[in-house]
Amino acid sequence: MTSRPLDLAVARVRTVFAGMTSPTETGCGRCHLPGETALLRTPDVPVPPDVLSRYAAEVADHFDDLDASMRRLLPDLVELLVAGGVDGAYGGLNALGRTRWGRWPAEQREAVHGFFEAWFTQVLRTPPEESGGGTTCHDVLQSCVTSLSTVTPFLAIWAAEGYGGSADAHLLVCVERYIDDLIVDEWPLGWWADHGRDEPVAELRAWVHEQAPDRLRAVGADPALLLRVEVLGLPCDDRWPALEALDHPTCAGDG
C-alpha cells in the first residue's frame, strides 16, 4: 500500500530527520541492551524492527531525552508503520505520542504531520480488501491519533473524500466496529495520551452522526446500523432506550 504522495512524505521525514541523535542517551538498562541504546546516539544506522517497535512503545521516563530519541528513530519508524509493523493501539506508539513534537521546528512538525496525513489518505483510497497486516483503516487511524493526540485532521481528510468509494467502504467497517462504544460515550480507538478527556469522544461521535449516514447509504449499509448512528444525536441516557423502542415498537391502538 503506497503512492507517490506517501513515498514523498516518507522521503521528507528521512531528509528532515537525517543525522539526528540523542547524543547523551543512557536509556533504560532493564528494557534495552547497551547496543540498542547506542543506536540512539549513532546517526543514520538502520534500527532493527524489533528494537524500533519496543522503543516506539516505551514510556517517556525510559529516555534521557525522549524528543531527541524519537527524532533519531522517525526515519525508520515511518517506514515500519507503512509496512504494518507497529500496532498503534494500546501503547504501541506511546513514545511518539508523548513527545512535544508540536513544539519542534516548523520543518520537523510539517514533516511529521505530513506523513500521517499522507498515510491516512492512502489507506482511505485503498480498497478494504487490499488492506491488512496493520494497515487497515482502523489500525492506521489508531496509529495516527496515538501519534498526534488528535483525531481532527483525519476526520477532515475522510470528509473530503468522494461518496461511494473506498473511503466509505472503510467507514462502514469502522462504524460497525465503533458504534457500540460511541453510543455509551466510550473511546473506540485504543490508546490515547489524553484518553480521560471527553473531547475526543464527543468529536468523533458528532462527526459520525453528521457525516456517516449519507456515506453509509452510498455503500448499502444495513438500515439497522443507520438507526444506531441516528441515536448518537441524543443525550447519552436516551440512546439505548430509543434503540429499545425501535426494536420493540408499541402496537397501534395500545393504551
What is the tens place of the pLDDT at every residue in 130-144?
876 668 899 899 999
Report d(CA 137, CA 125) in Å as an integer.
10
What is the tens place of the pLDDT at every residue in 43-65?
999 999 999 999 998 888 889 99
Q: What is the DSSP letter of 45?
A: P
Tell me, what's the pLDDT at 17?
98
Report d(CA 136, CA 88) in Å as an integer.
12
Q: Is the pLDDT of residue 113 over 80?
A: yes
- Contact present, 10 and 78 (Cβ < 8 Å): yes
Measure Cα distances from 197 to 33, 60, 240 in Å: 36, 20, 23
Q: Is the pLDDT of residue 150 over 50?
A: yes
Q: Which of 21-25, 60-64, 71-75, 177-181 has the lowest mean pLDDT?
A: 60-64
Give every CB contact of residue 56 below 8 A, 6+ residues apart in sequence: 73, 77, 86, 92, 93, 94, 95, 96
19 exposed, middle or buried (CB, 10 Å; 0-12, 13-18, 19+)? exposed
What is the tens place of the pLDDT at every residue in 62-101?
899 999 999 999 999 999 999 988 877 667 788 888 899 9
Q: Which of 33-37, 153-157, 158-162 has the lowest mean pLDDT?
A: 33-37
Q: Which of 76-80, 95-99, 154-158, 227-231 has the lowest mean pLDDT?
A: 95-99
**What's the whole-model pTM score?**
0.91
